[in-house]
């Protein structure tokens, strides 16, 4: 059986944090995604604290040297890994002063190794144009895991600049690995309407991983009005596209996300999705009914049921009678 999208994202992040493969940490899939996250956060903290004393000593030396000399030494002698670890032990102002003089490629590589507990204070002090340049570099490298982590540190202006610069596909991938639902919601809310619309369209018409990222996004956004806008844009797509989305949701164990989206659509959009030919298939209805039961979505979806024509309502009832533990 597949894992839900949050668990998938957490497993990828855990493997990255431990420098290993998804296969090596497959055993963790038995845990809830919140537990995998706690495991990762603790493991990362232990790893970063392990060599802290040595990096603190290096940081002490760099404090007494002029910035230009530090930059020269860093670029000549330090790998991005060492530079990031020392930066984590410097006062954020000092670390930002150095970062503002480093090449973007070096900073992008260093970001991968930056202590997540220290990243926010540092990133807030780096020049916004430099931060955006680093984000663009990380997008080009396809490092969406690091970008998802860094999203938490992004100011409103940086989010605006990045969303105006980066492709919608990349925004979806970054969102998939975002750490905080609140920050993800704030970032999505800052997208101009046409950009938000394009993001939804690209999620639905792109490859399966983008549909998965789109489903994860609509599930994680914690503002119902914003979720409603996303869902409304989705409902504009044709039958084929929406049917693919439905199948992806079933494959990904993401029917809760899909049904939440339907529950916040306008009545007109709900009527439109109820005309999907796929809803005549008993096994599809079975999946949907079981998801409603599992996630206790009866009251949220009651208005949608009221919009069903008698034939569809009868089919739903049959699917409910067939499934295990259905009311």
Partner 1 sequence: MRGDVREVLTHWLGADVRVVEGLSDEALEELRDVLVAARERQATAIRAASAEALRQMPPVLRGTVSKILGR
Contact set with partner 1 (CB under 8 A): 17-20, 24-25, 27-28, 30-31, 34-35, 38-39, 42-43, 46-47, 50-51, 53-54, 57-58, 61, 76-79, 81-82, 85
Distances (CA, A) of 128 to 41, 100, 168, 247: 27, 10, 20, 41
User: In the complex with partner 1, which residue's Cβ is closer, 119 or 258?
Assistant: 119
User: In the complex with partner 1, which residue's Cβ is closer, 39 or 104?
Assistant: 39
What minimum distance in Å lies between the beta carbon of 284 and partner 1?
32
User: In the complex with partner 1, which residue's Cβ is closer, 25 or 178?
Assistant: 25
Contacts of residue 57, Cβ cutoff 8 Å, sequence gap at least 6: none
What minimum distance in Å lies between the beta carbon of 57 and partner 1?
5
User: In the complex with partner 1, which residue's Cβ is closer, 35 or 305?
Assistant: 35
Backbone angles phi, psi at 323, to 5 degrees: -70, 155
Question: How many CB atoms are closer than 10 A to CB 32?
Answer: 12
Tokens of 217: 């996004």
Long-range contacts of 133-137 (CB under 8 A, 24+ apart): 133/104, 134/104, 134/107, 134/108, 135/162, 135/165, 135/166, 136/165, 136/166, 137/104, 137/105, 137/107, 137/108
Long-range contacts of 266-270 (CB under 8 A, 24+ apart): 266/228, 266/232, 267/303, 267/307, 269/231, 269/232, 269/235, 270/235, 270/303, 270/304, 270/307
Q: Which residue has the tokens 């970032």?
A: 187
What minimum distance in Å lies between the beta carbon of 50 and partner 1?
7
The C-alpha atoms of residue 292 and residue 285 are separated, in whole angstroms, by 10
User: In the complex with partner 1, which residue's Cβ is closer, 17 or 90?
Assistant: 17
The C-alpha atoms of residue 1 and residue 108 are separated, in whole angstroms, by 37
User: In the complex with partner 1, which residue's Cβ is closer, 76 or 327?
Assistant: 76
What minimum distance in Å lies between the beta carbon of 45 and partner 1?
9
CB 107 within 8 A of CB 141: no
What minimum distance in Å lies between the beta carbon of 225 and partner 1?
34
Q: What is the DSSP letter of 80?
A: H
User: In the complex with partner 1, which residue's Cβ is closer, 25 or 258?
Assistant: 25
What minimum distance in Å lies between the beta carbon of 60 and partner 1?
8
User: In the complex with partner 1, which residue's Cβ is closer, 61 or 305?
Assistant: 61
What minimum distance in Å lies between the beta carbon of 255 and partner 1?
24
Q: Which residue has the tokens 């894992």?
A: 3
What minimum distance in Å lies between the beta carbon of 58 and partner 1?
6
């Amino acid at each position: 059986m597949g894992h839900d999208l949050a668990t998938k994202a957490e497993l990828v992040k855990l493997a990255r944090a431990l420098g290993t493969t998804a296969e090596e940490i497959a055993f963790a899939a038995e845990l809830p995604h919140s537990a995998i996250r706690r495991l990762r956060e603790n493991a990362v903290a232990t790893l970063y604290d392990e060599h802290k004393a040595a990096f603190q000593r290096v940081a002490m030396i760099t404090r007494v040297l002029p910035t230009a000399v530090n930059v020269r030494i860093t670029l000549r002698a330090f790998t991005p890994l060492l530079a990031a670890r020392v930066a984590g032990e410097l006062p954020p102002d000092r670390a930002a002063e150095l970062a503002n003089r480093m090449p973007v490629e070096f900073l992008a590589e260093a970001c991968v190794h930056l202590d997540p507990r220290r990243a926010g204070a540092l990133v807030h002090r780096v020049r916004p144009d430099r931060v955006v340049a680093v984000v663009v570099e990380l997008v080009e490298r396809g490092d969406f895991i690091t970008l998802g982590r860094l999203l938490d540190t992004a100011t409103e202006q940086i989010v605006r600049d990045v969303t105006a610069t980066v492709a919608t596909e990349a925004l979806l991938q970054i969102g998939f690995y975002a750490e905080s639902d609140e920050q993800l919601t704030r970032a999505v809310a800052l997208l101009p309407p046409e950009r938000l619309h394009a993001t939804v369209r690209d999620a639905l018409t792109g490859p399966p991983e983008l549909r998965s990222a789109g489903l994860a996004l609509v599930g994680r956004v914690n503002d119902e009005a914003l979720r409603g806008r996303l869902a409304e844009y989705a409902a504009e797509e044709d039958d084929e596209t929406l049917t693919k989305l439905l199948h992806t949701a079933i494959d990904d164990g993401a029917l809760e996300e899909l049904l939440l989206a339907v529950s916040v659509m306008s009545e007109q959009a709900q009527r439109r999705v109820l005309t999907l030919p796929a809803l005549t298939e008993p096994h599809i209805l079975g999946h949907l009914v079981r998801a409603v039961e599992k996630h206790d979505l009866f009251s949220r979806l009651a208005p949608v049921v009221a919009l069903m024509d008698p034939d569809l309502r009868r089919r739903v009832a049959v699917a409910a009678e067939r499934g295990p533990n259905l009311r």
